[in-house]
Amino acid sequence: MRFSFPRIGLALAFFLLALPDRASAQFGLPDDTVLCGGLNHFIPSGFKSVSSSTTITLTDDQFSGVINIGFPFTFYGQTYTQCVISSNNYITFDLTTAGGFSPWAINADIPNTTNAQENSIMCPWQDINPGIGGVVEYGIAGTAPNRVFTVSFCEIPMFSCTALDFTNQILLYEGSNRIETHIRDKPLCQTWNNGVAIHGLQNATGTVANVVPGRNFSDPTWVTTNEGYAFIPNTTGPAYTIQPIPFDPSVFNPIVWRNSSGVLVHTGDSLPITLPQGSVETYTVETSICGGAVLADTITVYIPTVDAIPLEPSCQGEATGVVYIDLFDQNPYRYNIFLIDATDSIVWANGVQRNEDTARGVPPGILTLVVVDTNGCELYDTLVVGALPAITAGIMNPADTLWDSVLVVQEFINLSAGADSFYWTSNGQTSTDSNAIFTFDTCGVYPVTLVSVNEFGCSDSTALFYWVYCYVPDPPVPIPDSSFIEFPNVFTPNGDGENDYFNAVYDGFEAIESFHGQIFNRFGALMYEWSDVTDPVSGWDGTYKGKEASEGVYMLVIMAKGTDGVEHRIQKTLTLSRN
């Protein structure tokens, strides 16, 4: 038996371990995860990795040439495929500005048509000078239809305060038309342009703007580090919803993966791994962003394992074994557990949401443990449940004796093998002796049962019928009629109208003046008795206490007397079948 399951996709993110000087950030992702053993998995780095980038050269207060975004992008209801980058940290979709002068003086709130550049993303607009330092570059991360166009301003000196560097990114998302800004360092140059900076968007006509609260021209000056903001387009109401988000810039440098020994195992956005059941491995992913700042994270990968430990063997022919199942304790999921025998039959099953279980009532033999968790991971182990010594219950059948008085004391000889304790029952009496002695004071047939138990608690049972024959004198006046009675060996109470009752066969009795019949199961339990042999439907209908009796072999005991004085004593087996 095998089970199919899907591969597990993992969404991973990473935190900023060390940034030079003032930069620091936390990406806050899980430290570990659980994967299925023996399968191919891919762990994504979680970084927005720019596959290739283009560096552009800008002097002070200059617009770049026309730049292809790489996909259609909608801004204030208009769709664009190209933009222009300003050296003063904004981009515009007004392509007529390409190669021209980019204004630096800020003297009014947006929206306005007289001072601020229309149709632009200002993140923030402020006077900086890439002509004397830093790097401006752009590129695309991801694949269609989920690409991200990123413009990066890396350590650009503030104009007039050239010892202060500014670093941020502007991200445009394909499909959703979402805009993000990620500012690593935004210092304050209070001595130039009064330190003002505008962080927001303005439409193509300069009539609508969406500004981060507290960051328009008339607001107090401000500084920030390691922050993110999202501008989410709306279908109704304000053009954009502005939300703070974690600092999560795009990556313009290679991504490398190392194992717990520090060995380089892969380079690229995703780590392919295949580990056997029971493995535990820690991987570190690293890359760098602007100015050599290192982004890194470690993730521990657990491959679940199970262990089946037989605690108690099983009685032969029964299912009494006990198995302890040790489950993977790093996995908080629900487990479905199966024990399977050599014929691929499930002999035990359970579902648990904990890291261990105990299987009881397990048969002996070689078994396979199969565990399936919530993620569909399959875990296997093989175990052997031992078999305890065999035990057989047996009773020596006593000889039939004709008693001339109805007070019989009979010893029953125990023929059991492999047992050391016994429990006898008959005629309302019990005994725990090896051989039982029972007393009978009425003529008839009596079931005698024996349950034999060994030191491990394994048991076997058997039963026989003991006849108490009593002397009956011949009748004083013989009756010439010859009496007889006979019964079938099989009956089929299946409701088809034929042979649905067990009684004497048709024409199967003659000159019977008294009759008493009993039917017992193999354990000596009385299933049915009756005293009318003349009516077929007075016989047994194959039920016991209103429910169908099991198919199989039963014991028939008949005591009848003919008009000729002949006693008919019958003890035989009958078979109940519903086929």
Give me the CATH number covering residue 563: 2.60.40
**Position 506 confidence tier, pLDDT thresholds 50, 70, 90:** low
pLDDT of residue 46: 80
231 & 346 share domain:
no
pLDDT of residue 332: 62
Q: Structural domain tally of the chain?
A: 5
441 & 520 share domain:
no
Contacting residues for 500 by C-beta, under 8 A, at least 6 apart: 491, 492, 493, 494, 541, 542
Asked whether residue 224 carries a pLDDT value surpassing 90, the answer given is yes
Find the range with the poorest average confidence among 78-87, 193-202, 267-276, 321-330.
Answer: 321-330
Give the dihedral of Cα atoms 358, 364, 365, 368; nearest 10 deg: -20
117 & 225 share domain:
yes
Phi, psi of 291 (to 5 degrees): 75, 15
Report which of residues 285 and 17 the model is more confident about: 285
262 & 233 share domain:
no
Quote the CA–CA distance of 579 and 576 in Å, as a whole number: 9
- What would the pLDDT profile of 377-418 be if each residue is shown by its tens digit? 888 999 999 999 999 999 998 877 666 666 788 999 999 999
145 & 219 share domain:
yes
Q: Is residue 121 part of a domain?
A: yes
- Rounded to two decimals, the pTM is 0.57
- What would the pLDDT profile of 524-547 be if each residue is shown by its tens digit? 888 999 998 888 889 999 999 999
Q: What is the mean pLDDT of residues 3-7?
A: 28
User: For residues 314 and 321, is the Cβ–Cβ distance under 8 A?
Assistant: yes
Quote the CA–CA distance of 459 and 220 in Å, as a whole number: 91
Quote the CA–CA distance of 325 and 342 in Å, as a whole number: 19
Among 522, 400, 413, 379, smallest CA distance to 466 is for: 400
Q: Is residue 2 part of a domain?
A: no
Q: Is residue 20 part of a domain?
A: yes
Q: In what order do the strands lie in the sheet with 490-491?
A: 490-491, 567-576, 552-562, 512-520, 526-530
Q: Is residue 5 part of a domain?
A: no
Phi, psi of 411 (to 5 degrees): -95, 135
User: For residues 105 and 149, is the Cβ–Cβ distance under 8 A?
Assistant: no
Residue 417 β-bridge partners: 392
Phi, psi of 536 (to 5 degrees): -55, -40
- What would the pLDDT profile of 342-391 be if each residue is shown by its tens digit? 999 999 999 888 788 999 999 999 999 999 887 788 889 999 999 999 99
295 & 207 share domain:
no
CA–centroid distance for 30 within its chain? 20
| Beta-strand relationship, 444-453 and 436-440 | unpaired
Report which of residues 565 and 259 the model is more confident about: 259
182 & 236 share domain:
yes
Asked whether residue 22 carries a pLDDT value surpassing 60, the answer given is no
Choose one of 385, 413, 448: the last residue of a domain: 385
CATH of the domain at 409: 2.60.40.10
CA–centroid distance for 56 within its chain? 52
DSSP labels, 24-47: -------SEEE--TTS-EEEE---
Q: Is residue 360 part of a domain?
A: yes
pLDDT of residue 319: 92
User: For residues 522 and 556, is the Cβ–Cβ distance under 8 A?
Assistant: no
235 & 295 share domain:
no
Q: What is the mean pLDDT of residues 23-51?
A: 72
Determine the structural domain holding residue 376 and report its residue range.
307-385
User: For residues 452 and 416, is the Cβ–Cβ distance under 8 A?
Assistant: yes
Quote the CA–CA distance of 337 and 503 in Å, as a whole number: 51
Quote the CA–CA distance of 325 and 270 in Å, as a whole number: 35
Quote the CA–CA distance of 500 and 504 in Å, as a whole number: 12
Contacting residues for 9 by C-beta, under 8 A, at least 6 apart: none
Q: What is the mean pLDDT of residues 190-204?
A: 95
Q: Is residue 397 part of a domain?
A: no
191 & 245 share domain:
yes
429 & 466 share domain:
yes
Q: Is residue 434 part of a domain?
A: yes
Single-letter amino acid code for the residue at 250: S
Contacting residues for 505 by C-beta, under 8 A, at least 6 apart: 486, 487, 488
SS3 54: strand
Quote the CA–CA distance of 562 and 567 in Å, as a whole number: 6
Choose one of 385, 412, 428: the last residue of a domain: 385
Q: What is the mean pLDDT of residues 564-572?
A: 87
User: For residues 296 and 286, is the Cβ–Cβ distance under 8 A?
Assistant: yes
Residue 423 β-bridge partners: 451
Contacting residues for 347 by C-beta, under 8 A, at least 6 apart: 319, 339, 340, 341, 362, 363, 367
SS3 291: helix
Asked whether residue 245 carries a pLDDT value surpassing 80, the answer given is yes
Asked whether residue 237 carries a pLDDT value surpassing 60, the answer given is yes
108 & 195 share domain:
yes
Contacting residues for 348 by C-beta, under 8 A, at least 6 apart: 323, 337, 338, 339, 359, 361, 362
40 & 57 share domain:
no
Owner of token pair 């209801």: 77
Q: Is residue 273 part of a domain?
A: yes
User: For residues 479 and 565, is the Cβ–Cβ distance under 8 A?
Assistant: yes
